Chains A and B, each alone.
Chain A
């Protein structure tokens, strides 16, 4: 199973027959992996396939139960992350943790700033070294700028620069693109290509298959902790990759059914929130999935929040089935049949310390009641019913949701809202950071809901998802609705043109 190259450069870092168990769980079983200099290597697999454990083994966080970590062909034992870092291995996480009040340069050289006499920090040298790193990466960031307020994309660049300052030869990027916009991804990929050309080995993890094909040369696939394959990407198709990841053919990633659109269910008229979005009007009909596209910061999420009532609007109105909603009142929006699956499932969608049962139960506090008291039996069966319908994988319904994987957490959020029997469902980034198998499930679910007559408004930064699922695409740019594109005319080009303000509505 192991790929052994008989020609070309030797692997800079390799895992050989690694096994790692946590209690009774075998997270990795005899997994081997070779990272070559000048190569971007994709690590693919569903949530829970063992990707995180593998990364943590490479980064010295976990010590393997069996097998070897080979650095330049030599067996090595990392006693901790510091060992791995000193060996030239750096991990860039999805959401970097910088010190917000320190400058970029100070963040990069934290604890090892160049010194002048008497141990004083040499700010000039720190500044210069940071500038050199930025030039090497081909980006323009002011070294003296504080980290506070940097976009996640810029923060990642800082982390990469920090890794380079440690002379990292192996960069492990754990879902770096999950929170980035299209142009930010393009810039990140530019940096990755530069690193590759400079001879770094990169291990790249992403749930977005098209990105894997765009930037990587080789892919290793894990499934249930076991190595499935390690092979060049040349000549592979997305379907091939998906098959290796999920172990079967995925029916379809975008199973959109054709539905005759019914009456208008959600009507938004001239909605304005000062400084955030302006004069936004649109309808969503029963049976329709309307995509809401745009760059991050275009105001899509903010419109959804205002419609649902967690933010107030300054002007305009919102109607559901012809009934006006109260400004700033989520409870009345819910009572009218509106549901919002929010963008940030950990902070907004779920109470992480609460059980699956109670999280789903939160939207039923008005219905699972008998004589003013909670009807626990009804609450439990309502929660169980929806958890099972959405095939949430859990040990016990009373387990807290923070024990679940991201995909299963998202299913709990969906269960929580579908349990209210909504007429209008707004989903904000419904598949961000979840694996391809679960993603297809969510899409099938949305399609089925629309077929059952629910009006669905889907906000997504994942363009293929918008194009694959939406009957119509609304596009926002800088707080305004700039285009409405029917499914037949929606392409990456037309949507992106409107999203970047290059086309008038």
Chain B
């Protein structure tokens, strides 16, 4: 039992969770202005776009694929929202249209990957450029800011004087759905198999292509939801909203221990990674660390996040090897 506790301790997602707690505690005690409720609500609010996209991205990376077009889908969604608002449509009509647009964007990625058998990295770099280009065509260089105040208040406000933004609550619901989908349903179980060995999954009757298509579509939907949130949260719909967000999402997800090669990781780890990244960015801003230096830190974290889980796994493999070795001597030889 002590052995299994040790083995758990070297699991990377646990390491990241512990790291997040350490960073939060250190920041509370040593960083001026970190602990007050307003700053914390900023931290959460600014991290929410990364967190929202990280949910489907985690499932996608577990299944061995990736979507780099998410930030462009978000930008396109925001741009279309702004353009339609300028046309005089109501926001209640616009939001479903934008979400549908996200579904279409995701579906295009998914079909290119599953029907044509193209690598998702290449496909989504292509659509990253394409979706962003369309966003610019739709909205040009305008910035639309006059959205209805109740929506802006919801996206930017917090509950009373607490540190919890309103938008955090629906996120928790989506998080719960994603955790259950990945870790407690047959669908999620089969994603791990697909990511670890697509061929073996196919031979076990798992409908690999259909699953990937669903994942890309949901990712598109979540990206457009994020685009809508982004435009309302910052009260600005521009074609270049959320530019570069995909790198933060991928960095955070990998930092959270999701294996880039697929088949390994937990949503808990991924979300810990997201908020670790968010907390570090917040602390650096409070300390007046320049934006350029922040990017350097994010880059270093990304490299560490790829390296860390591998080191952790090697430690636990070595441990398991020793365990298996000592177990097989005592195992009865029955055949």
Contact of A393 among B190, B320, B325, B335 (CB under 8 A): B335
A224 touches B203 (CB 8 A): no
Chain A residues closer than 8 Å to B335, beta-carbon distance: 391, 393, 437-438, 441
Chain B residues closer than 8 Å to A438, beta-carbon distance: 335
A351 touches B322 (CB 8 A): no
Name the segment of A29-37, A67-75, A353-361 touching the other chain. A353-361
Say if the beta carbon of A340 comes within 8 Å of chain B. Answer: yes
B185 touches A351 (CB 8 A): no
Q: Assuming A224-B333, A352-B197, is B328 touching A395 (CB within 8 A)? A: yes
Contact of A23 among B193, B196, B325 (CB under 8 A): B325
Say if the beta carbon of A236 comes within 8 Å of chain B. Answer: no
B203 touches A340 (CB 8 A): yes
Chain A residues closer than 8 Å to B201, beta-carbon distance: 351, 362
Q: Residues of A within 8 Å of B, CB-based: how many?
A: 44
Q: Assuming A362-B190, A366-B186, A374-B189, is B203 touching A25 (CB within 8 A)? A: no
Chain A residues closer than 8 Å to B190, beta-carbon distance: 362, 365
Chain A residues closer than 8 Å to B186, beta-carbon distance: 365-366, 369, 374
Say if the beta carbon of B296 comes within 8 Å of chain A. Answer: no
B189 touches A361 (CB 8 A): yes
Within B186-239, which residues are at the interface with A (CB < 8 Å)?
A: 186, 189-190, 192-193, 196-197, 199-207
B199 touches A348 (CB 8 A): yes
Closest Cβ–Cβ distance, residue A158 to chain B (whole Å)? 27
Name the segment of A134-142, A329-337, A455-463 touching the other chain. A329-337
Say if the beta carbon of B331 comes within 8 Å of chain A. Answer: yes
Closest Cβ–Cβ distance, residue B173 to chain A (whole Å)? 17
Cβ contacts B291-335/A at 8 Å (1 or 0 each)? 000000000000000000000000000001111111111010111
Cβ contacts A300-334/B at 8 Å (1 or 0 each)? 00000000101000000000000000000011011
Chain A residues closer than 8 Å to B334, beta-carbon distance: 391, 393
Closest Cβ–Cβ distance, residue B330 to chain A (whole Å)? 8
Contact of B205 among A331, A352, A372, A437 (CB under 8 A): A331
B203 touches A22 (CB 8 A): no
Chain A residues closer than 8 Å to B202, beta-carbon distance: 310, 330
A342 CA to B202 CA in the complex, in Å?
Answer: 11
B205 touches A396 (CB 8 A): no
Q: Assuming A310-B203, A330-B203, A350-B200, is B325 touching A372 (CB within 8 A)? A: no
Smallest CB-CB separation from A417: which chain B residue? Answer: B204
Closest Cβ–Cβ distance, residue A446 to chain B (whole Å)? 16
Q: Assuming A373-B180, A374-B185, is B200 touching A399 (CB within 8 A)? A: no
Closest Cβ–Cβ distance, residue A346 to chain B (whole Å)? 9
Closest Cβ–Cβ distance, residue A157 to chain B (whole Å)? 29
Closest Cβ–Cβ distance, residue B284 to chain A (whole Å)? 37
Say if the beta carbon of A347 comes within 8 Å of chain B. Answer: yes
Say if the beta carbon of A479 comes within 8 Å of chain B. Answer: no
Say if the beta carbon of A165 comes within 8 Å of chain B. Answer: no
A224 CA to B328 CA in the complex, in Å?
Answer: 11
Say if the beta carbon of A349 comes within 8 Å of chain B. Answer: yes
Closest Cβ–Cβ distance, residue B239 to chain A (whole Å)? 40
B263 touches A353 (CB 8 A): yes
A395 touches B203 (CB 8 A): no
A362 CA to B197 CA in the complex, in Å?
Answer: 12
Say if the beta carbon of B184 comes within 8 Å of chain A. Answer: yes
Q: Name, among B189, B196, B199, the residue most crowded by chain A CB atoms within 10 Å (CB to CB).
A: B189
Closest Cβ–Cβ distance, residue A287 to chain B (whole Å)? 25
Closest Cβ–Cβ distance, residue A374 to chain B (whole Å)? 6
A362 touches B180 (CB 8 A): no
Contact of A347 among B200, B321, B325, B327 (CB under 8 A): B200
Within A247-296, which residues are at the interface with B (CB < 8 Å)?
A: none
A308 CA to B202 CA in the complex, in Å?
Answer: 11
Contact of A416 among B197, B204, B321 (CB under 8 A): B204
Within A34-93, which residues are at the interface with B (CB < 8 Å)?
A: none
Smallest CB-CB separation from B326: which chain A residue? Answer: A24
B203 touches A396 (CB 8 A): no
Say if the beta carbon of A403 comes within 8 Å of chain B. Answer: yes
B324 touches A399 (CB 8 A): yes
B196 touches A363 (CB 8 A): no
Chain A residues closer than 8 Å to B329, beta-carbon distance: 24-26
A354 touches B192 (CB 8 A): yes
B325 touches A331 (CB 8 A): no
A403 touches B324 (CB 8 A): yes
A372 CA to B329 CA in the complex, in Å?
Answer: 41
Within A391-412, which residues are at the interface with B (CB < 8 Å)?
A: 391, 393-396, 399-400, 403
B193 touches A393 (CB 8 A): no
Chain A residues closer than 8 Å to B192, beta-carbon distance: 354, 358
Smallest CB-CB separation from A330: which chain B residue? Answer: B205
Closest Cβ–Cβ distance, residue A252 to chain B (whole Å)? 15
A382 CA to B200 CA in the complex, in Å?
Answer: 20
A361 CA to B199 CA in the complex, in Å?
Answer: 16
Q: Assuming A362-B204, A395-B328, is B199 touching A347 (CB within 8 A)? A: yes
Smallest CB-CB separation from A353: which chain B residue? Answer: B196
Q: Name, among A308, A347, A366, A403, the residue most crowded by chain B CB atoms within 10 Å (CB to CB).
A: A403
A391 CA to B333 CA in the complex, in Å?
Answer: 10
Chain B residues closer than 8 Å to A347, beta-carbon distance: 197, 199-200
Chain B residues closer than 8 Å to A334, beta-carbon distance: 205
Closest Cβ–Cβ distance, residue A55 to chain B (whole Å)? 19
A395 CA to B326 CA in the complex, in Å?
Answer: 9
Smallest CB-CB separation from A332: which chain B residue? Answer: B205
Closest Cβ–Cβ distance, residue A336 to chain B (whole Å)? 11
Closest Cβ–Cβ distance, residue B276 to chain A (whole Å)? 26
Contact of B200 among A22, A26, A349, A374 (CB under 8 A): A349
Within A402-438, which residues are at the interface with B (CB < 8 Å)?
A: 403, 416, 437-438
A365 CA to B201 CA in the complex, in Å?
Answer: 12
Smallest CB-CB separation from B187: which chain A residue? Answer: A365
Smallest CB-CB separation from A394: which chain B residue? Answer: B331
Q: Assuming A349-B203, A366-B186, is B328 touching A399 (CB within 8 A)? A: no
Q: Assuming A351-B193, A361-B189, A403-B320, is B184 touching A22 (CB within 8 A)? A: no
Contact of B184 among A23, A353, A374 (CB under 8 A): A374
Query: Closest 3 CB pairs between A and B?
Result: A395-B327, A365-B186, A23-B325
18 extra A-B contacts, CB within 8 A, seeds A348-B199, A391-B335:
A23-B326, A25-B325, A25-B326, A25-B329, A331-B205, A334-B205, A350-B197, A351-B201, A362-B189, A362-B193, A363-B205, A365-B189, A365-B190, A366-B186, A373-B180, A374-B184, A395-B327, A399-B324
Q: List 18 A-B contacts (CB under 8 A).
A: A25-B325, A25-B328, A25-B329, A330-B202, A347-B199, A351-B263, A353-B196, A353-B197, A362-B190, A362-B204, A365-B186, A366-B186, A373-B180, A373-B185, A374-B186, A393-B328, A394-B331, A395-B324
